[in-house]
Structure formats: C-alpha cells, structure tokens
A and B are shown apart, each in its own frame.
Chain A
Amino acid sequence: MAPSSPNSTPYAAEFAPSNVQADQPLLPRMIGLAGLGFTTLGIAAIIANQYSPRIVGLSGGYLFAIFGIFALLYHALRDGDPEIRRVYGIASAVLVLAGLITLVVPGKPTEATTSTLAYHFLPWGAFALFVGLGFLAAFLKHENESNFSEWGEVVLLGTGGVLFISSAILGVFWPAALVGIGIVMALIGLAYLAVYLARVDVSVGRGYQVALGLGVLGALILVLALGRSIAPTVIHEGPSALKKINQDYDAGKVFGRIVLILLSLSLLLVARTKDLIAPVRIGLVTVGLLFAGTFIVGSFRTGWVPIQPVPYLVPSGLLLMMIGGAALMLAIAMTSDSHFVVLTRREFAAYLFSPIGYIVLFGAALMASYGYWQFLDGMIPDAERLAETLRRGGRMVIEEPIVQRYNAATLIAAFQALLLVPALTMRTFSEEKRTGTLEVLLTAPIKEWTIVVSKFAAAWGFFMLSWVPMGLYLIALWVVGGQPFDYRPLMSYYIAVGVFGATFIAIGIFFSSLTKNQIVAAVMTFAVMIGMLLTVWLRNSQTTLFGSGVRKVLEQFDFFTAWTTALSGSLALQTIVLQLTFAAFWLFITTKVLETRKWG
C-alpha cells in the first residue's frame, strides 16, 4: 500500500481492482458428490457384470463411471478448499501409481498380442493415468503451499519422464510392442510433461533443462528411427538402386539420390542460422553428415548389409518417428524464441479458448461416429446371421482391405471440410483487423510472412486434429476386434486430407485477410470450396462444356475423388505437390495483401 515511488502524489496508492471473496463452492460440491455416487455405481456395475448380467449392464456401468469421473473433475477444478484439493491430490497419486503398476503386472495373452507384459495397461492403466493427470492438474491449480505443489510437480515430471523414456526404449528394442501400448505410453507421458512444462518457468533453470532434454531425446529418437528405416535398405541395395535392369545408370534415380544427398548437406547450412543453441547446431551437423554419408556410401559400395533388412518403416519406424517428433515439437513449442513458434502457439491456444475450437472438434467427432457406424453397417450386412454364426462357434470372414469400405468417410469428410474450414479460418485476420491487434502485431519487429505462416500452421494443425476421432475409432476396432487389419491405405488417406486441407486453409486465410467481417470471409471460403466439390460432377458427366485441357485442369480441384482413391491406397505424388504449391501460392498473396498497407 506504500506509494510506488518517493516523489509520488499524496493520493492513496491504488488497490487491486476489487475485494476478493472466497467462492462458496456449493454447486461444485454437489456435483462432486453426485459424481462420486455415479462413479461408485459405475465401477460396481462393471465389476458385478464380470460374473453375471445385472440390471445395470456393462455399457451402463461404463457410462455411469465416465460421467461420474467428469463430475468429480469439475468439482476438483472448482473447489479450492485445502482438504478437498489434497484429497484429490492423493487420489491422483494413487491413480498414477495404479497406472504405472499395470505396466509391469503380467496377464493372459490373446490373439492380438503375444506379450504378457503390460496386459492391463490398455485400457485400464492408460485410463487411470489419464484421469490421474486431470486430477493432478486440478490439484496443482489450487495448491499454493510450495511443499505440496512441489511434490505434485515432481510426480508430473517423474511419471511423464518414466512413461516417455520407457516407451522410447520399448520402441527401440521391441518394436512390435509399439503399436498399441508403446504409442499410448508415449502420448500419456508427453501429456504429463506438457502439463509440467506449462506450470514451471521454461526460460531458465530446471524447466529449461527439462524442455531441452526432452527436445534432444525426441530428436535422437526421430533421427534413430529415420536412420534405421532408411540406412539398411540403402546400403543393402547399394549402387543397384540407381541402375536400370540392364545395369545402366538410371538418370532419374541418380538425380533423386543427388537431391537426397544435397538435402542432407543442407542441414549443415541450417545449422548456421543465428540464435540456435550449441546442441542444436552440433545435432544438425552430425545428422546431416550421417545421412549424406549413408547415401554416398550406398551409391558406391554394397556388401556391408548382406541380408535383406526387415521392413521397419511401417509401422514401427513411423510410430517411433511420430513419438520422437511429438516430443521434439513439444520442446520446441515450449522453449523456442522463434517468432513462428511463439505466434503459432498463441494462435493454437486461441482456438482452445474460444467456443469455435470445441464446436469444431465435437462436430468432427459426431461425423466420425456416424461414418464409423455406416462402416460397420456395411461390413456386417446381416447382424442376426452373424450372431447365429458366432454362437455356433464359427467365424465371419471379411476380406481385406476393409478400410476401403470406409467410403462413408469420404462423403462425411467432404462435408466436414466444407463446414469446418470456414469456421476455423474466418477469424484469423478479420478479428485482428477489427480489434486493432494487427496494428500492434505489425509494429513489432516481425515479418509479415511469419505472421501468415503461423496462422496457417495453427489452423491447419487444428484442422488435422479434427480428423483424429476417425482414427480413434479404428484404433478401438483394432483393440476390441482382436484381429489386426491392413491400415496402410489410411496413411495415404490422411496425407490426401492433409494436403488438400492445406489448400483449403490457405484459401480461408486469404479471404480472412481481405475483410474485417468474419461472416463475409467465411462465406467466400465456403463458396470456393463448394466450387471445388462440384467438380466431382464434371468427372462423372459427359458434358462437352469444357475442352479436354480445361477439363483436366478442373479435375485437379476435385478433392472428393482424390480422397476416395487415397482411401483405396493410391495417391499420386503429383497431387501432393500440386496442392502444396496451391497452398503456398495463397499464403504468398495473403502476405502481399498485408504488405499493401505499405504501398501508400
């Protein structure tokens, strides 16, 4: 309450804006109590149903339990009372412990997995850890005594570290276990670490070291997985990979190999960027030299890898790269000072703070559930006959590739894209122009191009996030069905969605930069995308309205057909390159629009 400076005015110094009165958390407590009741009921139902059918069935039990846990979480977030929050803290510690224990307790093998280790991890252990994280975060939000909150942070860091590092070790030495257990462990571990890093000061001290260590580890895993996927094959094939059948050098393949070598060496150039810390520079140089060396060696010598290497890229290599990549991205997002990272972070968080983000995700989940239902319906034509067959101990055979039957996915996906892209991109520049924050952004020492690309990255990232529910359903099918299926067409599908999504988002951002009115931007984006969708009609019709050349050009905009063919496993490289070029073009002219204010 003292004046802020010795020569200040005789007025009383200003207080904090209003009196603070502790909340009477009556409603949250009631909800918490109800939640406790539901959870107990649910768990009892689940346990009882293991022995014989009860009034409250198994699915009812799950429903009650999940609803109850959400209610408890809400209470934990709202109620700051010391006793209550510490009870939640202890509960979260118990859950974390239980989750970690399921990692080591063995169980019975089934068809899908021959390993007995971590049998109960999916789904119980994972679930316990996930819920435990929620309660731990809620506990730490209210806890202001430093001993307890430090303990909480130690638990966060410890659990996250243990989970992530174990999944990395698992991935390196027992790649088969990666699908399913490994990746879930890694993701949960990263979630714990993310919450930890969000709480501590990441610019100095321990927080910085943890983030740095995570980044280094992630990069190491990424490079290791990449190397192990590429190097053995390259060295095993030797110079014959560059030659045609008649032992002459194939110009195209040689050119491709030279490009790869140059790309690897370009990492050394990237290492010269200023403002990079020493470990990053060393890492880039080492990786660049290693890869270049591998490619060079593989072009001239053979014999070092005599036996055909086991295919590693799919799925273990890819999954390990994803885990390493996710860790690296988390570390970069937390500590990097690059303008692009800072702006992207802010933009992405803004989606999570506005209703639009949740509406988009909820809508996508709804559409994914409808698509999955249609998919199952198509796969199992006659449910009664199936039930009859199964009761008699027989089986039903469905031919691969089953993912192709996910046709509902493409129709639903087209609608999803049509509706979600304008919703996501309409506020990117329009709101900043309206509120004036663009002025503050453009008078800071940031390049316009960085601003545009960061908005694009955040919107595209969120767009791709809305396709995760579809993937989750298929993971559930894998786990519950017990039988692995060929999911490789899914990868080409996701890539197709990704590149076309890039074009859509870039168009949306461009229109947003033209106007202060979000609705106008949304409508213009929607109109362009409808136009693109309508080219499907062109492909199927016999109309002579357009010449064959124009027709071919217009067919490139047909994303519906592209997605359908991608789902059956074929995606042309030309399509990918074309769409990425389009996206870059739209972003470029958006940058120019921003720069026009400088043209007087």
Chain B
Amino acid sequence: MSAPAIQVTDLCKNYGPVVAVDHVSFEVATGELVGFLGLNGAGKTTTMRILTTFMPASSGIAKVAGYDVMYESMDVRRNLGYLPESVPLYPEMRVQEYLESRAKLKGVERTARTARIDYCIERCRIREVRRRVIGTLSKGYRQRVGLADALISMPKVLILDEPLSGLDPIQQEESLQTIRELSGQHSVLFSSHQLTDVEKVCDRVIIIHRGRLEFDDRLSTIAARAAVLFLEVRGPSADVQSFLQKAQHVTSVQVGASEGPYTTFVIRSDTDNREALVSSLVEKGWGIRRVDQRREKLEDTFMRVAYQRA
C-alpha cells in the first residue's frame, strides 16, 4: 500500500509558552478530499505551515507524499501546492507572467509549460483576466490566481488555507466545484469556515480545537448516526417519559421544554419507529402536536466540539 499523501504523527508546536498544536495525529490518503475545520486560532494555519515546510514543528513527525518535512524539505516542496490564507501575490506582475515565473520556479518542463499554464488558467476560470495586472484584480480572481499557482506543477498534494473566504456566493459555489474536481488527481487538504460547503464536497473532516484533534472521521459516519425524534405530547410528563422509555427500540428519552399542556420529548432509538410510537401514544389518549425527525449534521458535531471546553 502506497504511503498516505499526508501523515502527521504526534505533532506539537509551541510559540513560546503558547501551545498552538498539541499532539495532533491524522492521515490523508491519496486522492482524498479532507476538510480541516476549527475555530479561529485553533491551530489550522500552524499545522498547514508545518506541513508546507515553512515552519518547523516543536516535536512530532509530519510527512507529505512520503517525505519528511524537516529532513527532506525540498522533496516535499516539489510535490506540494500551497495557497496561504492571505493569497499573497506580486501586485505589479500580470497574471500570465506571474504564472510563467512560478511554473519555472517549480520546475515545470519548458516544452510542457505553455500548455500547462493554459490548462490551469482554464481550470481556475481566469482566462478573461490573464493579461490583467494582479494589483487590479478583485478578491475572487486573486484567489483563483493563487489556486492556479498552487496547481501549476500538478503536485500530488494540495494544501489550501481558507480558499473560500471572502468570496461571494456564486464564486464560492464555483470554487467548491473546482476543488471537488481536483480531489481525484490530487490529495487535497483545505480549511474552511463554511460548514455547509465542507459537508457538500469533503470525504472526511478533521476538527481541531485549541490545538487538539477532536474529530477525525468520514462524513458518512455523522450522517449514519441515528436520527433524533422530537415529539410534542400533551400529557403528564413523568408518565409519558416512563412509557416512552419502556417502548421497543427506544434507547434514550430526554424531557425538553414545556409550552402550556405540551411537553417536548427528545427520543433516540436504534430504528425508525416513529409510526409505532405515535400510534401507541395516541392509543394511550395523549395528544401529539409535533413529530419531527432531525439527522445530526456537521454543524452539530462542530458546535458540540467547540463548546465542550468553553
């Protein structure tokens, strides 16, 4: 089995007394698209900077495309495309010549260079601005130029720091599309605050909170979690609760708020037993005002993680 695209083992980074990254371990397999989430200041950018060899870790091992970031840093950089959060570009250059000089710096073969640049320009949809001076571009175009620059050497691994920040909704949608299309050929690790977008395209999600890895799993796992049932029942809450707890397939019952004669019950079961529950409650003579099923989403997981230490 080939080496994973990114392999981080027990990574730590301290800025003096501040612990930015605290024993983080994760892997990104080849061709995977992984979303890297966390509050601001959680340690995402620091981890990415360590992976791109810009900064050394305080301890731990990080490998990109099988090369160690500390000892084989040149090899890592040859197989890496990086887009920092601030998308730094040279404002006096034109898009075309910027991409040409970056292609030369990253070692793109002379005979293939023009075709590769044209391909990246088409892929990132910046054809209309290829002769424009970079300083005159809007944020959306700047980010796409940055993305084209990250792509230019067809690297095995792409690390994108908040590639969707500051884009308008249409641009976000299109950029997301582009990133999703990239994921088969390249392994992509990107960070974002747009939880709904991450949910749409990513295979896996990693959540970092205060420097520690709190969640690292496939999105399908979240979706597969059993749904939660909300029932608003008119009746004595203690009796209803004990009745529900004794019902078949029900794993837990929580009592929620009361509004007049109605009380909300939050029920977790191991199968979909809505019909059976409702009909049994009605048989007992208790009125039902609301039957609501909610699947847990990424946002819920994220909020749970973010608030747990607050």
Whether the pair A8, B102 counts as a contact (CB closer than 8 A) is no
- Whether a CB of chain B sits under 8 angstroms from the CB of A4 is yes
Stretch of B107-115, B213-221, B249-257, B288-296 at the chain-chain interface: B107-115
Size range of the chain A interface in the assembly? 35 or more
Which residue of B has the minimal Cβ distance to A198?
B97
Q: Nearest Cβ distance between residue B284 and chain A, in whole angstroms?
A: 48
- Report if B4 contacts A (CB, 8 A): no
Task: Report which residue of A208, A346, A597 has the largest number of chain B beta carbons within 10 angstroms of its beta carbon.
Answer: A346
Complexed CA–CA distance, A353 and B136 (Å): 14
C-alpha spacing A14/B128, complex, angstroms:
10
B101 contacts across to A, CB distance below 8 A = 342, 345-346
A353 CA / B97 CA spacing, docked (Å): 14
A350–B129 touching, CB < 8 Å: no
User: B243 on the interface (CB 8 Å rule)?
Assistant: no
The one of B54, B110, B173 that contacts A439, using a Cβ cutoff of 8 Å: B54
CB-defined contacts of B230 to chain A, threshold 8 Å: none
**By the criterion CB–CB under 8 Å, are B78 and A599 in contact?**
no
- Which residues from chain A contact B181 at a C-beta distance below 8 Å? 5
Interface membership of chain A positions 331-344, coded 1 if the CB is closer than 8 angstroms to chain B and 0 otherwise: 00001010100110
B52 / chain A contacts, CB cutoff of 8 Å = 443
Assess the B56–A445 pair: CB atoms within 8 A.
Answer: no
Q: Is B55 interfacial (CB 8 A cutoff)?
A: yes
CB-CB under 8 A for A445 and B129, given A5-B177, A339-B105, A435-B88: no
Contacts of A540 in B (CB 8 A): none
Stretch from B18-26, B27-35, B79-87, B186-194 at the A interface: B79-87
Please count the residue pairs between chain A and chain B whose beta carbons lie under 8 angstroms apart in the complex.
102
Instruction: Tell me which residues across on chain B come within 8 A of A548, comparing CB atoms.
Output: none
Q: Which of B88, B90, B113 contacts A203 (CB 8 A)?
A: B113
Q: Judging by beta carbons under 8 Å apart, are B88 and A17 in contact?
A: no
Tell yes or no: B104 within 8 A of A by CB. Answer: yes
- The one of A7, A17, A204, A440 in contact with B141, judged by C-beta atoms closer than 8 angstroms, is A17
Query: Does any Cβ of B come within 8 Å of A376's Cβ?
Result: no
Whole-angstrom distance between the Cβ of A555 and the nearest chain B Cβ? 42
Bound complex: CA of A208 vs CA of B113, how far in Å?
Answer: 13
CB <8 Å contact, B174 and A343: no
Chain A residues whose CB sits within 8 angstroms of the CB of B173 once the complex forms = 9, 11
Q: Which among B58, B78, B104 has the highest number of chain A CB atoms within 10 Å?
A: B104
Asked if A201 and B104 make an inter-chain contact with CB atoms under 8 angstroms apart, the answer reads: no
Residues 1-45 of chain A, each 1 if its beta carbon lies under 8 Å from chain B, else 0:
000110111011111110000000000000000000000000000
Decide if A337 touches B90 in the complex (CB within 8 Å). Answer: no
Q: Which residues of B in the span 27-51 have a Cβ within 8 Å of any Cβ on A?
A: 49
Answer whether A9 and B174 are a contact pair too, CB < 8 Å, given A17-B129, A443-B80: yes
With A439-B54, A597-B54 known to touch, is A346 a contact of B174 (CB < 8 Å)?
no
Say yes or no: is B106 at the interface (Cβ < 8 Å to chain A).
Answer: yes
- Of the candidates B105, B128, B137, B141, which one forms a contact with A342 in the assembled complex, judged by CB atoms under 8 Å apart? B105
B92 lies within 8 A of A350 (CB): yes
Taking CB atoms, residues of chain B closer than 8 Å to A598 are: 55-56
> Interface 1/0s, chain B 139-159, versus A by CB < 8 A?
001000000010000000000
Q: Indicate whether A303 reaches chain B with its CB closer than 8 angstroms.
A: no
Interface residue? B171 (CB, 8 A)? yes
| A354 adjacent to chain B (CB < 8 Å) | yes
Complex CA gap A14/B175 in Å reads: 11
Nearest Cβ in chain B — how far from A137, in angstroms?
16
Q: Give chain B residues whose Cβ lies under 8 Å from the Cβ of A444.
A: 77, 102, 105-106
Query: Is there a chain B Cβ closer than 8 Å to A436's Cβ?
Result: yes
Q: Which residue on B lies nearest to A12, using beta carbons?
A: B170
* Distance, CA A131 to CA B135, complexed state (A): 30
In the complex, B74 has a CB within 8 A of chain A = yes
B93 at the A interface (CB under 8 A): yes
Binary CB contact string for chain A from 299 to 337 against chain B (1 if under 8 A, 0 otherwise): 000000000000000000000000000000000000101
Shortest Cβ distance from residue A562 to the other chain B in the assembled complex, whole angstroms: 36
Residues in A neighbouring B77, C-beta threshold 8 A: 443-445
Q: Given that A9-B173, A17-B138, A444-B102 are known contacts, is A439 also in contact with B88, CB under 8 Å in the complex?
A: yes
Q: Once the chains bind, are B106 and A445 in contact (CB under 8 Å)?
A: yes
For A436, the chain B residues whose CB sits under 8 A away are 84, 86, 88
| Size category of the binding interface on chain B | 35 or more
Contact A17 B105 (CB under 8 A): no
Q: B264 contacts the other chain (Cβ, under 8 Å)?
A: no
Chain A residues whose C-beta falls within 8 Å of the C-beta of B54 in the assembled complex: 439, 442-443, 597
Residues of B contacting A346 in the complex (Cβ-Cβ under 8 angstroms): 90, 93, 101
A337-389 interface (Cβ within 8 A of B): 337, 339, 342-343, 345-346, 349-350, 353-354
Interchain CB contact under 8 A, A14 and B104: no
List chain B residues, Cβ under 8 A from A349: 92-93
How far, in whole Å, are A201 and B110 apart by their CA atoms in the complex? 11
State A446–B106 Cα separation when bound (angstroms).
8
Q: Which residues of B contact A394 (CB under 8 A)?
A: none
Instruction: Say yes or no for B268: interface residue by CB 8 A criterion.
Output: no
A437 CB within 8 Å of chain B? yes
- Are A8 and B106 neighbours in the complex by a CB distance under 8 Å? no
Partner of B110, one of A5, A14, A17, A337: A337
- Report if A600 contacts B (CB, 8 A): yes
Closest to A432 in B: B88
Give the docked Cα–Cα distance between A7 and B200 (Å): 14
Tell yes or no: B274 within 8 A of A by CB: no
Name the CB-closest residue of B to A598: B56
In the bound complex, how far is the Cα of B110 from the Cα of A203, in angstroms?
Answer: 6
Interface 1/0 per residue, B112-137 and A, CB below 8 Å = 01100000000001001100000001
Within the complex, what minimum Cβ distance (angstroms) separates A496 from chain B?
33
Q: Which of B89, B105, B114, B128 has the most CB of A within 10 A?
A: B105
B113 close to A14 (CB less than 8 A): no
**With an 8 A cutoff between CB atoms, is B7 at the interface?**
no
- A339 to B53: give the CA distance in the assembly, Å: 19
Check A343 against B105 for contact (C-beta < 8 Å).
Answer: yes
Q: Please report the C-alpha to C-alpha distance between residue A435 and residue B58 in the assembled complex, in whole angstroms.
A: 26
Q: Chain B residue with minimal CB distance to A7?
A: B177
CB of B236 to closest CB in A, whole Å: 51
Query: Which chain B residues lie closer than 8 Å to A443 at the CB level?
Result: 52-54, 77, 80, 82
- Chain B min CB distance to A509 (Å): 18
In the complex, chain B residues whose CB is within 8 Å of the CB of A445: 74, 77-78, 105-107
B84 touches A439 (CB 8 A): yes
Interface pair A16/B128, CB less than 8 Å apart: yes
Least CB distance, A77 to chain B, in whole angstroms: 15
Residue of B nearest to A339 (CB): B105
**Judging by beta carbons under 8 Å apart, are A11 and B105 in contact?**
no
In the bound complex, residues from chain A placing their C-beta under 8 Å from that of B137 are 17
Question: How many angstroms from the CA of A335 to the CA of B100 in the assembled complex?
Answer: 12
By the criterion CB–CB under 8 Å, are B129 and A16 in contact?
A: yes
CB distance from A324 to the nearest CB of B (A): 24
Q: A14, B170: Cβ atoms under 8 Å?
A: yes
A13: chain B residues at CB < 8 Å are: 174
Give Cα distance in the complex from A4 to B176, angstroms. 13
CA–CA, A337 and B57, complex, Å = 32
A60–B113 CA distance with the chains assembled, in angstroms: 52
A16 to B131, CA, bound (A): 12
Task: Return the CB mask of A528-565 against B: 1 if under 8 Å, else 0.
Answer: 00000000000000000000000000000000000000
Assembled-state Cα–Cα distance A480/B56 (Å) = 64
| Given A9-B173, A16-B128: A201 in contact with B92 (beta carbons within 8 A) | no
Q: Which 3 pairs show the lowest CB-CB distances between chains A and B? A: A436-B88, A16-B128, A353-B92
Starting from the known contacts A443-B53, A444-B106, A445-B77, 12 additional A-B residue pairs (CB-CB under 8 Å) come to A4-B174, A7-B177, A14-B171, A17-B137, A203-B110, A203-B111, A203-B114, A337-B107, A350-B92, A436-B86, A439-B49, A443-B52
Binding site for A on B (CB under 8 A): 49, 52-58, 74, 77-78, 80, 82, 84, 86, 88-90, 92-93, 101-102, 104-107, 110-111, 113-114, 125, 128-129, 137-138, 141, 149, 170-171, 173-174, 177, 181
Q: Can you spell out 8 A-B residue pairs with CB atoms less than 8 angstroms apart? A: A4-B125, A5-B181, A204-B110, A342-B105, A435-B86, A436-B86, A444-B102, A597-B55
